[in-house]
Amino acid sequence: MAGRHRLLLENAQQLVLVCGRGEEYLLREGAAGLPVLRDASVVVGLDGCIKAVGQADVIRNQFSGATFEKVIDCSGKCVLPGLVDAHTHPVWAGDRVHEFAMKLAGASYMEIHQAGGGIHFTVEHTRKATEEELFNTFKHRLERMRRVGSTLVECKSGYGLNLETELKMLRVIERAKQSMDIGISSTYCGAHSVPKGKTATEATDDIINNHLPKLKELQLSGEIHVNNIDVFCEKGVFDLESTRRILQAGKDIGLQINFHGDELHPMKSAELGAELGARAISHLEEVSDEGIMAMARAKCTAVLLPTTAYMLRLKQPQARKMLEEGVIVALGSDFNPNAYCFSMPMVMHLACVNMKMSMNEALVAATINAAYALGKSDTHGSIEAGKQGDLIIINSSRWEHLIYQFGGHEALINYVIVKGKVVYQNEMCGTMSSY
């Protein structure tokens, strides 16, 4: 096949497709037998999409007359889909390192929150920050996520709680979408907390009557493009009825429902999400058995966040029960000032050790299922012809090293590729063993 193409990855020891038949998501049974090709190659076209995947000799013959902008010899290495981080809060000012000591001394999340710390501390600093300051820190955080393999990231607002600052955060996210080589799914999270001086009912009314109409106006003008709506459905924050009102209003203007639920207290968030047709619900440490079954029936994704349970010393989400009941399970880092983790490989490791997921299940949860949670599994999350050429190459002959190694990825992740373009190349992989 003649013609010019953007990228050829050839002779990979292992090429982990994740999906081989165009699946939108994988349940437990599907994750048990991941398709892995040996001595394989992949071609990405000038449009950034995958043109061919297969055995190295077959691809070599098929593209014998073709030219490539870049060729990478992957002998002895593994190629995997770019990782998808399905839940982050990456736009903010004012870190909360001082609160880590309070947590270690026994203070709970809600105790810190009620004392004016937590989200309110970050809101105060984010409101004061300029758009340029927020963009610069956000850009560096995205670059750090990309270096550890994330090529599609869900990014929330939610540290403004007033219309002006929420829109400032969404503009920052939009700017990164337009200027950076990384996929972004943008989430309006103005109901992340009840602003000081308002009741939950007043905050709900403000969001429905003021925030969402302005968001719709800016969406129609093309100034910003928001994909999802989120609410922190929690005791002492937004109750079930307020959550229902906000999520339904967001759905009515075309946003996917993707919200925080059943984290600290059982709220019946899972049941509500299933009823409203939510694409995904995050956290779920306190989900009910009925909620799990409702999510399975509704094909509503459970976005589990092992970093949060680990750092807040919460009980672990019931990943095994969810998998056994047929829930679509995805993973996210929950990167935020309270859970400062950029690394999806570390998230997968924690999911295996603390939530008893298998390595196959964790990889599925951080690729195709995380993409499904964002409504993007038709373009992301697996290595299949027609999908976007988002790939990572690791300096190991077995893909499981991406999860098995807990940290220390500076010698493991060799290349990160977005739309067939190398966006990160790790020179250390040429001089240092990953073992």
**Sequential pLDDT tens for the chain (435 residues):** 779 999 999 999 999 999 999 999 999 999 999 999 999 999 999 999 999 999 999 999 999 999 999 999 999 999 999 999 999 999 999 988 888 888 888 888 888 877 778 888 999 999 999 999 999 999 999 999 999 999 999 999 999 999 999 999 999 999 999 999 999 999 999 999 999 999 999 999 999 999 999 999 999 999 999 999 999 999 999 999 999 999 999 999 999 999 999 999 999 999 999 999 999 999 999 999 999 999 999 999 999 999 999 988 889 999 999 999 999 999 999 999 999 999 999 999 999 999 999 999 999 999 999 999 999 999 999 999 999 999 999 999 999 999 999 987 878 999 999 999 999 999 888 666 666
The answer, as to whether pTM is greater than 0.95, is yes
What's the burial of 289, exposed, middle or buried (CB within 10 Å: 0-12/13-18/19+)? Answer: exposed
Cα 225-229-233 angle, rounded to 5 deg: 160
Which 3-state string (H, E, C) describes 225-265? CCCEEEEEECCCCECHHHHHHHHHHHHHCCCEEEEEECCCC
Which of 13, 154, 133 is CA-nearest to residue 73? 13
Distance separating alpha carbons of residues 125 and 401, to the nearest angstrom: 39
Tokens (6 digits) for 349 = 């490791």
- Cα–Cα distance between 268 and 246 in angstroms, integer? 16
Could you write out the DSSP letters of every residue in 93-114? SS--HHHHHHHHTT--HHHHHH
- Joined together, the tokens standing for residue 333 give 């880092």
Distance CA 276, CA 183 (A): 27
The total of other beta-carbon atoms located within 10 Å of residue 284's CB is 27
Tell me how far apart the alpha carbons of residues 119 and 136 are, in angstroms, rounded to a whole number: 21
- Given a contact cutoff of 8 angstroms between Cβ atoms, the answer to whether 233 and 270 are in contact is no
CB atoms within 10 A of CB 209: 10
Q: Which two tokens stand for residue 103?
A: 């947590």
* DSSP symbol at 182: S
Cβ atoms of 242 and 193 closer than 8 Å:
no
